[in-house]
Structure 1
Amino acid sequence: MSRTSLALVLSLAVLSATPVFAQDHAHGHAQAAGSVAAEAADAAAAVDAFHVALKAGDTAVALALMAPDVMIFEEGGAERSRDEYASHHLGSDAAFAAASEATVTRRSGWADGDIAWITTEGRTTGQFNGRAVDRLTTETMVLKRHADGWRIHHIHWSSRAPG
């Protein structure tokens, strides 16, 4: 992906009036409670751009926002690189994101130098593979600032049934 394409996606995420992020790979359109520190705003924009790309099925952009050595934890499992994620769950995550909607209920973010972490809580609903989806979700992303922008180095996704 070109630097121009990545810059455009990041710009669109920053200009978006509502956050587009949550867990379970489907990302919604509701304003979230919580706060993101000013120094973490660009990292939060990278998280938003990742989710925008995933929901749009633009897996090249989603992957470009991840460090090659990204570590993804979900439901007790781990994918230990961008290549491993691309070959295992990326396609199904993009399909899930496209088929469902998420409401973000809380988002917070902090940065310390070139390291930032963004946390999100929400609810994902919809239909996927002929089944109803209704999950309370959490997401933690740890990012590092590189010469060409923030990259995701760690993701932890978790969800549960409401109630």
Structure 2
Amino acid sequence: MRIGLTVIAALSLAAASLPAAARHPENGQTAPSALALPAELEAPAQVVDGFHAALARGDTEAALGFLAEDALIYESGGVERGRAEYAAHHLGADAAFAQAVPSRVLRRTGALRGTTAWLASEGRVTGAYNDRALDHITNETIILEHDGAAWRIVHIHWSSAAAPTRS
């Protein structure tokens, strides 16, 4: 069960091109105001999008390339301390899930403070995985640092919950 919920939370944003995949659930239209970020956040957002796109392609090596060596990943009450620990534990399952289950970004916000940026995204993942129907609301916070050469993900916090049922 932990892996299933972990994967759901982890890959809420796993569309190959997140801004293009963002949709209002009611009408299927893009939500530019919900995804608009200041220009200074374009490069960090491209790193986040690249990480998710790599997972969605099943390219785990490329996904790892976006993470700092000491990245700290919180998911479903657990912690993975570093890129190597993530690679050894949940990376493969996260990539398999991202390839199998559609997801979309509903809102994204963030800020830049010197060489640190954060992006917070709300999304929805719907579909089936391991013969189980899924409909979850997801939340992701990613912190990135610029090391002088590139932006790297230093922290990820993922959470999800079953979407409310409509009456």
Point out 4+ residue stretches in structure 1 off by more than 2 angstroms.
Answer: none
Separation in 1 of the partners of 2:38 and 2:57?
27
Superposed counterparts of 1:18-97, under 5 Å: 23-26=9-12, 27-28=14-15, 29-30=21-22, 31-32=30-31, 33-97=34-98
TM-score, length of structure 2 as denominator length: 0.81
Contact 2:72–2:80 under 8 Å retained in 1: yes
Separation in 2 of the partners of 1:110 and 1:23?
22
Separation in 2 of the partners of 1:162 and 1:24?
16
Contact 1:44–1:109 under 8 Å retained in 2: no
Separation in 2 of the partners of 1:133 and 1:24?
14
* Aligned Cα root-mean-square deviation (Å): 1.5
Separation in 1 of the partners of 2:51 and 2:136?
20
Separation in 1 of the partners of 2:81 and 2:50?
21
Q: Match for residue 132 of structure 1? A: 133
- Number of residue pairs aligned between Structure 1 and Structure 2: 142
- Aligned residues with identical type, % of pairs: 49
Contact 2:72–2:82 under 8 Å retained in 1: yes
Q: Following TM superposition, by how much is the alpha carbon of 1:36 offset from its aligned partner in structure 2, in angstroms?
A: 1.7
Contact 1:24–1:124 under 8 Å retained in 2: no
Contact 2:10–2:75 under 8 Å retained in 1: no
Separation in 1 of the partners of 2:46 and 2:120?
13
Q: Match for residue 18 of structure 1? A: none
Secondary structure of residue in 1 paired with 2:50 = helix
TM-score, length of structure 1 as denominator length: 0.83
Deviations 1:66-110 (A, max 9, x none): 001000001111001100000000000000000001121100121
